[in-house]
Structure 1
Amino acid sequence: MVNKKYILLAGVCSALALQPAFAQESNQASWSGRDMTYRGQSYDALDTTYIPSSRMEQQRQYLNHQYAFPAKPRNMWELGINTGVVNIFGDVTSKGPWNAPKFMNAMGFGASLRKALGYAVSVRLNYNFQNASGFDTRARLASVEAPWNNGSYAGNIYSNYKYTGHELSLQFVGAINNINFHKSKNSASLYGFAGAGLMVWNTKISTMDANGANYNFGSLDAMTNADRKSEYKSWLKDADNYNYQVPNGNGTNSGMTWGDNAISPVLVGGIGVQFKLGNRVSLQIEDKITWSGIDKLDGVQRDPGGMALSQDKDVLNYASVGLAFNLGNKKRSVLPLWWVNPMDHVYSELADPRHMRLPDPVLPDSDGDGVTDQFDKCPDTPAGVAVDAHGCPLDTDGDGVPDYKDKQLITPTECQPVDADGVGKCPDPECCKHIGMGGGCNVGAGSICFKANSAKLSSDANNQLANLAAQMKTNPTCKVVVLGNAGDSKVQQQRSWDRVNAVINYMSETQQISRDMFIFQYQGGTGDANCVMFRTAMPGEEGPSNLPPPHPQLGTKN
């Protein structure tokens, strides 16, 4: 048992000595761009390079948003090698390595090949070569214990044994501390394992000294325990002759043999911890228990003709330290999945989405006028009615009757208020005959609308002005008022001036209508601020055909 403590202490000291390397790896870790994962630890779940062909269809469905989970990536194999101390927990005290220089009398070594089945479970094929030895300073009766009950011994005897075994097992390994919600990776992996296999073993007992004579145990009876231990130890060291082989065959669990060796099925289990030294190597400390259901691995067995000295089954313990190596092409395979945190991809998508689709915002618009309910001041506008920026029906002449109900689209201010049909009543009935109601001078009325912050005429506006020009050419004595809708700010006033000027320039330069036939008014209009109104001038109505820009430094860019 002392040797088990020594090798565990050596493993712990090795792990502590390597802590600076772990810290350096963590300090040197850096973000790898948008995937928000540490380089060398996780992988880009959107990269199909890591996906085997058997799972590529699932990956395609994930990338096309047809399936919610990415495919499991291809991951590396792990090859492990180890050495350690073997002890048998049975009836005879396990000792060693005491038979120097043959220290392997209590040592073993092993190798394993491990593959991840998922992020928490992996499967491992494990081989162990085992040597164990022991002797006891507690007296036993020779008459009830083989091989001492052959008549050559009387009184007390002191047991000893030397065990050799080969064990092959298939194990399932569980590790879940890689699944972490608060950091990207761990540098240590704590795991447990369990499995089953076969053990080929052989136990021998030394019954004679170096001269071939039977041991004289009577001389040990009178000694103190410390002296007895020292004396018996020297006997066994000098003899180095384990002449009696524990019977096989019917004495084992299975009854199977291979030459002088017994073959027994076994169950194995244990725990271990790995410390990550890099992306390819890790330090591994482990303790494994092997249960065979056999009670004579330590040489103490039942006398067929007497009573049982012990019916407790012997258990093998192997405490080891070793190295594990990750095997595979790092460009096509990620690390073994017990080193990969599956939460990396989830958190990276939450922090900076590359794959996650956010739906377009849906804002309610109950009346379907293009202005959302949140900003719609007229939420019940009939379908198909043109509205302004506030969702209210257009009212070009500002008489309070929306255009879709207004039978007199342009009613002069002096003829307002109007009736329910939008028709005004002028103080002088003769006046109103000339306002959009026919008469000797009537070229019509209308509005020219512009895009926001623009004073450029659209093709629809050009066609509308071309019709106006044709009417003005047939009525050369008529004048037309071009009226803008300027707000309170300097920018709005200059924009209104630019739009009125654009209309009059087009009529004079393109349609060859004299500029003197227009009255330039960039203020005073009502209705949509992005529209310029035109109407027939009333008899006697005069005004300039051009005005200086109010704020030329704020001129509107087309």
Structure 2
Amino acid sequence: MASKKYTMMLGLLGLISTAAFAQDTSTTTSESVSTQGTSISAGTNADDSWIYDGTNKVRVTKEDQQNGFLNHTNPYPAKPRNMMELGIGLGPSFMFTAIDPRFGYGASISLRKALSHTFSLRLGYGASNNFGLDYRLRPVADATLPSTIKNMYGTGNTYLANYKTFIQQASLDLIADLNSISNYRGNPKTSFYALVGYSFNMANVAINALDASGNAYTWNLPSGSRKDIKDAAKQQLENNQSNGILDVKGKNDNSRQYETAGLDSKRDDVVGSDETINRHGLDAGIGVAFKVSPRFNIGIEQKFTMFFSNSDVLSGLHLSREGRNTTLSSTQVRFNFNLGNSDKRIEPLWWVNPNNYVYNKLATRDVLPDADGDGITDQFDQEPNTPAGCAVDTHGRSLDTDGDGVPDCRDKQVLTPQSWFPVDADGVGTEPEPACCQELRDKLAAQPVAAECAITSLPSVHFNKSSIKLDDAAKSALSSAAAQLNSNPNCKVKIVGYGASNKRAQQLSWDRVNAVKNFLIEQQGISEGRIIFTYGYDGDANTVDLQPTTESGPSTVPAPHPNLQK
């Protein structure tokens, strides 16, 4: 019976696969289209042309929205019609149960439809054969065997748990694509996704409880590790021993290897694999698909189905009291085909990045003419001949921050006050003279002009070696100079010290000038404001000259090297 199911399933897969390849495989080519007289490039990706190449790929009820988008009265395009995906999967499967699993095999077929660029729904049918073989003897009462079979073992006898479970699964899964939307690339070539959903499962559980002669097994398991026990069981299978742990189907024997149905109820009259066990399940999984062409992709998917309530019966055991539930693991290579007319539908939305259109528009060049290259298209440019390099405002006019008529890019005085207008060709204005300055000038003109200094010369002062003390001759010379200064109040005196060869000479020059200054102020009563302090000139380092003058200058100067000061 099972072989008929597999034959029908494979035949159905073959028919659907043939139909999928027979679909229209034409694709929309990339082209430039004209919208209200403006040329817009469709870009290099033909799959995103649905956004602006008319209304042929949107539903009739969405044509008004699409037309509004094309005519710039609606900012959003209509959602396009997109293809459905037919998927065929093949691969290994096994169940997590209290019995050690052996790999089985399964197949599936599904239809997937996009809800958005991220989410989609997938309706699927799958079938799988799953096997298990324990390594320890269990009480026969733990098995979901008919009582007629259990009685053959006798009270207290044990059996080696095993199962062959054929599961048919109808599922509805919500799939979330994890990388369809991106700001940094076009349409994806790889789709990573996660899924969660519900499944209804119909299982036929068969247990090998009788040997080739139809009698209960006499268990004779070897001692040792789990591997040793299983290796012995496999060896006896290969040797086709009628009294072995598991019997096999001989060439001239029509008996079935898994001859007894596992039950989901207290029925005890079922023999064979005709009892169907129904269970609800929660699906969860992940997968990845690789685009081969706009019509075909290949992927691999890992899916788990967690069965609800007392699901240990799927492995032929009554263990619900232990709180265990069975989980089906299915790993499949999937072959996916996009179904639909490409003239009316685009690829499934999870293969289309909706940001393509936005970035293609941003990357488009020379969509609207801009003769002066200022970034403002000619239709909005109020200054169509803006000089190159000049910053402009939103109307394309050269910026003129101070409003003097000279654009900022040529204005040498960008913020000229209006009181300085008019400006010259470089934008530089004329600063008006403040009223206070004219008043001051008038006051100065009314004052008498100071008389010139009548002193023609003043004596010099000589120092001995490195001394800074004034000897009697020096004091006498300075007293004479002070008398002349007191007689000529318009005169000032410039004290000039020499010695610039090194730091010590410069400090000594300063000390000597300071000694002369202090004598004139403290001993002769000369005002400090009439003294000009200078030192460190090239000349005789032992001499300090006094020069009459009317110029201005500092009356005090900081010591150049105070650490060398005497």
Is contact 1:35-1:345 (8 Å) kept?
A: no
Letter in 1 for 2:359: Y
Q: Flag the 1:336–1:227 CA change in 2: closer, same or farther, 3 A.
A: closer
Is contact 2:180-2:187 (8 Å) kept?
A: yes
Alpha-carbon offset, residue 44 of structure 1? 4.5
Could you say which residue in structure 1 is the equivalent of 2:51?
45
Could you say which residue in structure 2 is the equivalent of 1:73?
80
Identical aligned pairs, as a percentage? 28
Q: Does 1:138 align with 2:136?
A: yes
Q: Does 1:295 align with 2:284?
A: no
Is contact 1:41-1:339 (8 Å) kept?
A: no
Q: Flag the 1:270–1:378 CA change in 2: closer, same or farther, 3 A.
A: closer
Q: What is the number of residues matched between the two proteins?
A: 327
Give me the whole-angstrom Cα distance separating, in 2, the residues matched to 1:289 and 1:310. 21
Q: Flag the 1:152–1:44 CA change in 2: closer, same or farther, 3 A.
A: closer
For the pair shown, the structure with the greater C-alpha radius of gyration is 2
TM-score (ref. length: structure 2) = 0.52
Could you say which residue in structure 2 is the equivalent of 1:217?
219
Alpha-carbon offset, residue 219 of structure 1? 4.4
Give me the whole-angstrom Cα distance separating, in 2, the residues matched to 1:372 and 1:137. 89
Deviations 1:197-233 (A, max 9, x none): 3111111111111111211113445894254332464
Instruction: Give the unaligned 5+ runs of structure 1.
Output: 1-29, 97-105, 252-257, 303-307, 364-369, 380-558
Q: Flag the 1:362–1:264 CA change in 2: closer, same or farther, 3 A.
A: farther
Is contact 1:175-1:191 (8 Å) kept?
A: yes
Q: Classify the secondary structure of the residue corresponding to 2:293.
A: coil
Q: Flag the 1:118–1:134 CA change in 2: closer, same or farther, 3 A.
A: same
Could you say which residue in structure 1 is the equivalent of 2:275?
260
Could you say which residue in structure 2 is the equivalent of 1:248?
264
Give me the whole-angstrom Cα distance separating, in 2, the residues matched to 1:150 and 1:117. 56
Q: Flag the 1:213–1:309 CA change in 2: closer, same or farther, 3 A.
A: farther
Q: Classify the secondary structure of the residue corresponding to 1:109.
A: strand
Written as runs of structure 1 = structure 2, the 5 A alignment for 1:280-291 is 280-291=295-306
Q: Classify the secondary structure of the residue corresponding to 2:74.
A: coil
Give me the whole-angstrom Cα distance separating, in 1, the residues matched to 2:380 and 2:264. 77
Alpha-carbon offset, residue 259 of structure 1? 6.8
Could you say which residue in structure 1 is the equivalent of 2:199?
197
Give me the whole-angstrom Cα distance separating, in 1, the residues matched to 2:201 and 2:94. 15
Could you say which residue in structure 1 is the equivalent of 2:71?
64
Deviations 1:215-262 (A, max 9, x none): 1113445894254332464443515432321222479xxxxxx97312
Q: Does 1:360 align with 2:405?
A: no
Is contact 1:119-1:176 (8 Å) kept?
A: no
Q: Flag the 1:226–1:269 CA change in 2: closer, same or farther, 3 A.
A: closer
Q: Does 1:276 align with 2:291?
A: yes
Give me the whole-angstrom Cα distance separating, in 1, the residues matched to 2:170 and 2:248. 34
Is contact 1:205-1:244 (8 Å) kept?
A: yes
Q: Does 1:123 align with 2:121?
A: yes
Could you say which residue in structure 2 is the equivalent of 1:114?
112
Deviations 1:436-459 (A, max 9, x none): xxxxxxxxxxxxxxxxxxxxxxxx
Could you say which residue in structure 1 is the equivalent of 2:179?
177
Letter in 2 for 1:238: V
Written as runs of structure 1 = structure 2, the 5 A alignment for 1:149-548 is 150=151, 152-153=153-154, 154-220=156-222, 224-231=228-235, 233-234=237-238, 235=244, 236=246, 238-239=248-249, 240-249=256-265, 260-293=275-308, 294-302=311-319, 310-352=322-364, 360=380, 377=404
Q: Classify the secondary structure of the residue corresponding to 2:48.
A: coil
Q: Classify the secondary structure of the residue corresponding to 1:207.
A: coil
Is contact 2:207-2:260 (8 Å) kept?
A: yes
Instruction: Give the unaligned 5+ runs of structure 2.
Output: 1-28, 33-39, 239-243, 250-255, 268-272, 369-375, 384-396, 407-566
Alpha-carbon offset, residue 185 of structure 1? 2.5
Is contact 1:125-1:170 (8 Å) kept?
A: yes
Give me the whole-angstrom Cα distance separating, in 2, the residues matched to 1:246 and 1:116. 40
Alpha-carbon offset, residue 319 of structure 1? 0.7
Q: Flag the 1:117–1:227 CA change in 2: closer, same or farther, 3 A.
A: closer
Q: Classify the secondary structure of the residue corresponding to 1:127.
A: strand
Give me the whole-angstrom Cα distance separating, in 2, the residues matched to 1:35 and 1:327. 28
Is contact 1:38-1:184 (8 Å) kept?
A: no
Alpha-carbon offset, residue 324 of structure 1? 0.5
Alpha-carbon offset, residue 168 of structure 1? 0.8
Q: Flag the 1:373–1:216 CA change in 2: closer, same or farther, 3 A.
A: same
Give me the whole-angstrom Cα distance separating, in 2, the residues matched to 1:323 and 1:40. 24
Q: Flag the 1:72–1:138 CA change in 2: closer, same or farther, 3 A.
A: same
Q: Flag the 1:56–1:31 CA change in 2: closer, same or farther, 3 A.
A: closer
Deviations 1:138-158 (A, max 9, x none): 332335444385461545431
Is contact 1:37-1:344 (8 Å) kept?
A: no
Is contact 2:263-2:313 (8 Å) kept?
A: no
Q: Flag the 1:191–1:316 CA change in 2: closer, same or farther, 3 A.
A: same
